[in-house]
């Protein structure tokens, strides 16, 4: 599971690595195994949370956007992040600050 604050490069990168991907409006699920909820799994996963915590979570209005095929079709023209050539990465800002401080 990956929380998203960038909705083009990151989903495309994840979809290029994982076979099964589900994109939602603010997070992404990915696996090389099919994404399935085991019988009773939802109740078990939510059991530790209070009703107030669950109400706040449900208020986020999670919306399914698309699967791996959707991502590769709609976002296929975006680049993929790599270690040696990051496109969107927190370290880009660090490199920029370092470069500017040497001026």
Using an 8 Å Cβ cutoff, are 3 and 27 in contact?
yes
Domain locations along the chain: 2-78
CA 68 to CA 76: how far, in whole Å?
A: 11
Give the confidence band of 57 by pLDDT, cuts at 50, 70, 90. Answer: confident
* CB neighbourhood size of 15 (10 A): 25
* Closest CA relative to residue 21, chosen from 66, 77, 88: 66
Give Cα separations from 14 to 11, 35, 65, 86, 103 (angstroms): 5, 15, 15, 13, 36
Supply the pTM of this predicted model: 0.72
Quote the pLDDT of residue 71. Answer: 97
Mean pLDDT of 39-45: 74
């Amino acid at each position: 599971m990956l929380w998203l604050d960038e909705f083009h490069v990151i989903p495309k990168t994840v979809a290029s690595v994982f076979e099964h991907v589900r994109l939602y409006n603010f997070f992404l699920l990915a696996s090389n195994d099919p994404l399935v909820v085991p019988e009773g799994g939802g109740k078990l996963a939510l059991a530790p949370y209070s009703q107030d915590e669950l109400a706040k979570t449900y208020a986020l209005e999670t919306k399914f956007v698309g699967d791996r095929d959707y991502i590769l079709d709609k976002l296929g023209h975006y680049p993929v992040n790599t270690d040696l050539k990051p496109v969107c990465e927190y370290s880009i800002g660090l490199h920029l600050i370092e470069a500017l401080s040497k001026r």
